[in-house]
Structure 1
Amino acid sequence: MFQEIDGVEVKKQQENGHETIDYDMQDKIDYVFKVVVIGDSAVGKTQILSRFAKNEFFFDSKSTIGVEFQTKTVIINGKVIKAQIWDTAGQERYRAVTSAYYRGALGAMLVYDITKRQSFDHVVRWVEELRAHADSSIVIMLVGNKGDLVDQRVVPAEDAVEFAEEQGLFFSETSALSGENVESAFLKLLEDINRVVSKKALECGIGVGNGDNNVATLKGSKIDIISGSELEISEIKKLSSCSC
């Protein structure tokens, strides 16, 4: 179901017995999905993103200031999807700034630290903030990070499962250090975003009558990010304002 594509161009080569195909990714992207990674400071948001986007982990990682940005391109159900992932600061003084970046987000990964009860207790506040600033159809994945520190656990998985069920969230426990469940959590989130977007498109009649039984191909537009005044956002967000 899932196939990962690293980089803009995939070259034909033999790697571990598997052959990759040479083609330019720029003209192959079907969707750009904006995802935000949120949660308290020091729960491992940046590390989870680095593990997923680049398969990296940094022991000397410092707190994120403002908002940072990474991308990852994958294939889900035959569609080439560019995940545009925003890593938001967890400190209170940046909350007012980062809330503006929820606009256009189709998914959110809400992270807490299984060794810090307070970070889990604050999850309800983060959900409320998402509900207030993000689209009502945003897909949320609740993630308990630092699963490798089992001897320091203070948040039982059962508590998180109960909360996720009450709020209608997906749930997973991960370890950015070992990489356990990081990729599967992101892919599950992207898969469900794709499902929601496809459903909205069908309800709005997009792609009907042109032989496409799924969804019309919507291209993301590339905008200069350095200025900070504009964000690279998928035009897919227009679906959320459909009047159907």
Structure 2
Amino acid sequence: MSKNYDVLLKILLLGDSGVGKTSLICRYVDDDVRATHVATIGIDFKLKTVDVGDKRVRMQIWDTAGQERFETLTTQYYRKAQGILLVYDVTSGRSFKNVRRWLASIEENASQNIKRLIVGNKSDMLVGREVTVKQGKQLASEYKLPFMEVSALKNTNVSEAFGALAGLVVNQQSGTEPAKQVERRETIQLQPQSSKDEGGCSC
């Protein structure tokens, strides 16, 4: 049987425990988010096939544990990934502060040309917000990385975030990406993509 995709991408989600990495993946792949939270143990992945430009892309999306005791295990997957979605919780100043630590870990362990996108999750929270949109943009600008706020609960900008990261990787691989210009954007919006969902939600 011939494969039904043109490109295989390995995407890694990083960030502190509880920021909503599993919820983002469940929303994107299965369009489902459960209210109860169970911390991810170790690492797991889901599959989703999407269209990026004229390419059929199979995304292997890796969900990682944010607890420090799993960090050695998680870093083993850095070099296998072509893109990283770095997630913090807008209601947790600590998780936002730790973005710098995660970026340093990526710098140390990932390949030089890996694509990164900073994402502030739980943008639907009107009460308890500790990190402003402006602060998120400033941090992303400092590292010359794209930035987006999302909500797994309300399904706001979730597909756009994953699609933007996939687009950056695909364009880089095809040699059509003006890398420096793209990475300096504070937000990225892609046209809606057709998709084929695979797997069930285990979040």
Please state which band the TM-score falls in when normalised by the shorter chain: 0.7 to 0.9
* Residues 1:118 and 2:94 aligned together: yes
Verify: 1:175 aligned to 2:151, yes or no: yes
1:154-233 aligned at under 5 Å gives the runs: 154-199=130-175
Counterpart of 2:27 (choices 51, 63, 68) is 51
Q: 1:102 Cα deviation (Å)?
A: 0.9
Aligned counterparts of 2:137 and 2:35: Cα–Cα separation in 1 = 29
Aligned to 2:85: 109
Q: RCO greater where, 1 or 2, for CA within 8 Å and sep 6 or more?
A: 2
SS of structure 1 residue aligned to 2:171:
helix
Partners of 1:71 and 1:27 in 2: CA distance: 14
Query: Is the counterpart of residue 65 in structure 1 residue 3 in structure 2?
Result: no
Cα deviation 1:47-77 (Å, max 9, x = unaligned): 0011001111011230000001101100111
Q: How far apart are the structure 2 equivalents of 1:82 and 1:195?
A: 15
Amino acid corresponding to residue 114 of structure 1 in structure 2: V
CA displacement at 1:153 relative to structure 2 = 0.9
Give the secondary-structure state (helix, strand or coil) at the position aligned to 1:150: coil
- Matching residue of 1:137: 113
Q: How many residues align?
A: 177
Query: Secondary structure in 2 aligned to 1:140?
Result: strand
The structure with the larger Rg is 1
Deviation at 1:27, TM superposition (A): 2.4
Aligned identity (percent) is 38
Query: Aligned partner of 1:165: which letter?
Result: S
1:150 positional shift:
2.0
CA distance in 1, matches of 2:175, 2:109: 22
- For residues 84-103 of structure 1, what are the structure 2 equivalents within 5 Å? 84-103=60-79
1:41 aligned to which of 10, 14, 17: 17
The residue that corresponds to 1:77 in the other structure is: 53
* RMSD across aligned positions (CA): 1.5
Q: Aligned AA for 1:195?
A: N
Aligned twin of 2:195? none
Distance in 2, matches of 1:31 and 1:104, equals 15
Counterpart for residue 29 of structure 1: 5
Counterpart amino acid of residue 133 in structure 2:
A
Where does residue 3 of structure 1 map in the other structure? none
* Amino acid aligned to 1:61: H
Q: What CA distance in whole angstroms lies between the structure 2 residues aligned with 1:166 and 1:192?
A: 19
Q: What displacement does 1:199 show?
A: 1.4
Partner of 1:148: 124
AA in 2 matched with 1:190: A
Q: Secondary structure at the match of 2:152?
A: coil
Structure 1 residue runs of 5 or longer lacking an equivalent are 1-23, 201-244
Q: Runs of 4+ in structure 1 displaced over 2 angstroms?
A: none
- Residue identity opposite 2:45 in structure 1: F
Q: Unpaired runs of 5+ in structure 2?
A: 177-203
